[in-house]
Every structure is written in C-alpha cells, then in structure tokens.
Amino acid sequence: MNPDVTVTVIVHNDAERLPRAVASVRRQTHPHIEIIISDDHSTDETPAVARELAAQDPRIQLLRLPENSGGCSAPRNRALEIARAPYLMFLDSDDELTDESVESLLAAHREQEIDFAMGAVQRVRADTGRRSTWMRHLVTERRTLDGIGTDPRLLFEHLATSKMYARAFLDRHELRFPEGIHYEDQLFTAQAYCLAKSFTVIPDPVYRWYIAPQADPQAASISNQRHKLTNVRDRVHVQRLIDDFLAASGHESLREDKDYKFLKHDFRMYAGDLPYRDESWLASFADLVDPYLATLTPSAYARLPRAERVVVQLVRDRRLPEAQLAARGLGHSVAPRQVTADGQGRSYWGDHIPPSEDSRRELDVTDLDLDTRPFPNALFRHEITELRHGPGASLDLTIRTYDPGLRLPVGPVRASLLLSPGRRRLNVPFRLSPLRPGVFEGQVHLDLATAHLPLQGFAGTRHPLLRLTHHDLTHTSLLLAPLTFPPRTTQVDYHAGATPHRVTAEPEGRGPGRLQLRWEPVGVTARVIRPVVRRVARPRVRSAARWVRSALR
C-alpha cells in the first residue's frame, strides 16, 4: 500500500538527536506514512544509528548523499526524488513533529484542494524546556487563503518544516530547495506563498523547534551563527534572490511587506547583538548590509518602532558606536543618553542634528514624547558605570541615570534597587545626585547576603531593577551593566546557615546586557529540602490548577 505522506528527516552528524526526531514521526496518529532519513554524508555514528532505526520500522528508507552539501537543500531535494507519497513534509533531526501533525495537516488537504497546509510551531528552549508559539498571532484561527496577498504578514512565518505540501503543486512549479546557499527556507517558502493558489492555516501545533541559545557558537544552528560575517552575507544574499523572484513573478506588490519582514525580523536579530561586536566586525557588518538597506522601501522603515529605526539609521550613517548604544535598549523602553533639539521643536537622537534629510527623518525621536509622558511611563537610561566586588557577597555600584526629557528635578532624586530572588523583595534605597542637566549619579551598596530567600532555597537568575520616586509617583526600569567584568561566585548562608547557596554576580552576556545574579542551592538544601518541597507542593499545585479550570468553566 502506498503511503499518504512522506516525511523527510534530514540529518548531518547528529547521531544523538536523530532517534528522537524519527520517534516523533513513527508515533504519528496517522500511520500510513513513509519516512526518509536523508543523511548529508555524516562522518559520526549517524549512519549506524539510521540503519538501526530502519531495522525497527519497515516504513523507514535510508538515503545517504555521496558528499556533504553543507546545507539543508540537497538532502531534502534528493529525498523528493524518491518520495512515493502525494503529500510531503520535512523535519530537521534536532526537532520533532507533534503526534497529530500528519493527521491534522492531511485532513486540511482532504477537506478541499489546496497547495499546502501549515500549522503552529512550538519553540522549545533546550536549556529550560520553556515553550512558546512561533508567530502566534498568525496561526490563532483556522482559515483558507486565496494567495499570500490575502495576508502578507505570513511572510514572517518562513519555516518550510511547519507545512505539508501537495507533491503535484511542487512538481507543477518545479519548486525545489535552492542548493548552495543558506537560509534556503526563506526563498523556498516565499516562492511557495506566491505560487500557491490557496493554502490552509490551522492553529494546531504541528512542529517542535528546539532552540539552544546557550550552545557553543561553533556548534549552533546556521540561524544562530550570527557572529559569523558569512552568516550576514548569506542572509542578505537570499533577500536579494527573493526580491528578484517577486519582481519576475509579478508579486512586486509584496515588496513593502517583505522589506518590513527583513527589517523587523532578520536585521533585528543582528541589531540585538551589536553591543557585543568589536569595531572591525561592525565595520564589515555595515559594509554588507548598507547597500541592501538602501534598496528597501521607505514605507517599510516607517512601520518600524522608532527605537529600531534609530539603530538601522545609525548603522547606515556609520555611527557604529552610537548604534551599539541604541541597540542596548531595543525592546526595553530605554532612553538615549542625549537628544538634540532644532529650532522647530523637533528632537533628534544623539549630540547633533543629522545633516541629511533621510537621517533626520529616521533619527527624529520627537514622537517618543520624552518630555511629556506620564512619569510612570517616562523614558530613562540607567547604566552601571563602575562595579566593585566588596566583602562577602556584596557589590558596590556606581549608577548613572540619563534623563534626556528633563523629567527629574534639579536636586537629588530618590531611587532604589529592587531584587526578588524569592517572594519577598530586597529594596536598597539610595540617592541620585545631579551631575549636569539630564544626568544623575549615585552609589549603591548591594549585599546579596541580605536577600530574602524562601526556607526551601532558590535556584534561578535575577536582574536588578531601578526604581525612581518623584512626587509620590514611581518609575521602574532595567539597569544596564558593563558588558564585561570578572564574574564572582560566593557561598552565602541564609537563615542562620540553614540554606546555603552559591551566588554568582556576572554580566548577562546577551540582550541589553544587565547585571545578572544567579542563586544555586548547595548542601542539604539542594539534596534534601528542595526535592521534598517539590514533591509535596506539586500535588497541591495540580489540585489548585484543576480548581481554577473548573471555576473558569
């Protein structure tokens, strides 16, 4: 009996995770499937593992490329040549299908004639197990679209692996994965969206995408190797290929949406890393992206939040150290250190008015309302300018606050450092004194031994917040730390020595770059108390959850 669906599992030197991926296909609720393990000429134990898996299930076929292609396209395309089913899916060896993926997507195809069906993608952090839905807002309801023009936002969902394709659709358009380039999913999926007469979106989760943000950069997936300039070059290259396809296929009307997707998703990922790059990398990055940024539609820039427009323009203007400063606040409502006003009431990012019309348009931060926002929502910038390790588990911090909207009074300002490693908050008051208009500085002594930990201890990471108080109003925001400083680990005995912990103060190392504090229980607390508390508390938590669900019904 011929299979209904062929699922291709591509793999290269991933003997450890391949069995998990294949197991997720074997336990599909729809059993009439063909499984092709397409090995991109692995040099580890992957071939032996694949043979063992094939011996366990007659539905599994093995395919081994004669040489390594260096990407995902060739192993997928070679599998397409031998696939026997009328519907096709793709799975990477480090991910999984959900149990009903095939059944759910195949049902969408059988309800009506469509070119492909797509479902929700669960992102799973490999280090914590935390789950979230990739592009949730695009897959919240079941719908069939007559072409991508109906909802161009779907260009953001560029994964080839979350979809089931009709073989006839791929063959009719000779649609295959482009070989010899990275980010092949983006080009393939853009082509599929544009060529499809109709496709169905279902809200059911169909794919588990495992994310390893802490992985060794050299072992990370291609999309996580943003530190490599070749990665930047490849991403820009594939964008140009997509642009060429849109123009050649008569889909130029999608250009603004596609450009916005590049700025909001692709460029945004690099922008968050800019503070951690050196001068040479930044210059090369600008060389690679600037020519392409110049080709994007102005209306795509206009759709970005102002903070992101500022970073893009600072890169385009080669104000790279300032781009690094601006990037540290992305997504966290962090103010610039300084703004400059012109004679017409407009304010611009930085210490001077930009010389060109384009730069003035993009660096105009007047719409941030720095001087008129309600105080609880005002924009400030708090930076640790000096960090010294004191006795025991204490830290002495020099904190500088930038107030470009001049919202704070001329004299000293009441402030406090907030930290909550348990249910009770540690509040360390201090004063910020004016250095010059819009700039304040203060000293804080933070003794981590005084933190209020629960009796069963605490295991986790916290980042201190800074709170300002003015006329009985409060404002709380994050605190930026030096990007590098020597980490320090100290053992602290809480509750008169009953709950010892190792406490580490370190730079965050990613994102905005906050002061990061980690607690790790040791001794009896780790071996006995916490396991017992978890065993006792878990049934109570489950009971409470059932009660809440019942009440909601």
**For residue 181, what pLDDT is reported?**
87
Does 215 fall in a domain? no
Q: Which of the four pLDDT bands, split at 50, 70 and 90, describes residue 547?
A: very low
Q: Which domain CATH number covers 113?
A: 3.90.550.10
Q: Please check whether residues 161 and 244 belong to one and the same domain.
A: no
Q: Please check whether residues 512 and 468 belong to one and the same domain.
A: yes
Q: Which pLDDT tens digit goes with each residue over 223-246? A: 567 789 999 999 999 999 999 999
Q: Which pLDDT tens digit goes with each residue over 471-482? A: 889 999 999 999
Range of the domain at 550: 523-553
* Cα–Cα distance measured from residue 322 to residue 359, given in angstroms and rounded to the nearest whole number: 14
Q: Give mean pLDDT, residues 448-461.
A: 91
Does 130 fall in a domain? yes
SS (H, E, C) 195-230: HCCCEEEEEEEEEEEEECCCCCCCCCCHHHCCCCHH
Query: Given the structure tokens 């979106």, which residue do they identify?
Result: 201
Q: Give mean pLDDT, residues 507-518.
A: 94
Q: Which of the four pLDDT bands, split at 50, 70 and 90, describes residue 339?
A: very high
Q: Which pLDDT tens digit goes with each residue over 191-212? A: 999 999 999 999 999 999 999 8
Residues in the chain: 553
* Cα–Cα distance measured from residue 347 to residue 339, given in angstroms and rounded to the nearest whole number: 6
Does 224 fall in a domain? no
Given a cut of 60, whether residue 408 has pLDDT beyond it is yes
Q: Which domain CATH number covers 395?
A: 2.60.40
Residue 306 CA: distances (Å) to CA of 113, 293, 363:
43, 17, 8
**For residue 294, what pLDDT is reported?**
97
Does 421 fall in a domain? yes
Beta strands in 508-546 (DSSP E): 515-521
Q: Which of the four pLDDT bands, split at 50, 70 and 90, describes residue 541?
A: very low
Which of 306, 341, 367 corresponds to the end of one domain?
367
Does 66 fall in a domain? yes
Q: Please check whether residues 57 and 197 belong to one and the same domain.
A: yes
Closest CA to 509 of 125, 213, 211: 213
pTM recorded for the entire structure: 0.89
Does 542 fall in a domain? yes
Per the structure, how many domains does the chain have? 4
Burial profile 168-189: b = 16 or more Cβ within 10 angstroms, e = fewer: ebbeeeebbbbeebbbbbbbbb
Does 398 fall in a domain? yes
* Cα–Cα distance measured from residue 80 to residue 8, given in angstroms and rounded to the nearest whole number: 8
Q: Please check whether residues 82 and 21 belong to one and the same domain.
A: yes
Does 221 fall in a domain? no
What backbone torsions phi and psi does residue 4 show, to the nearest 5 degrees? -80, -35
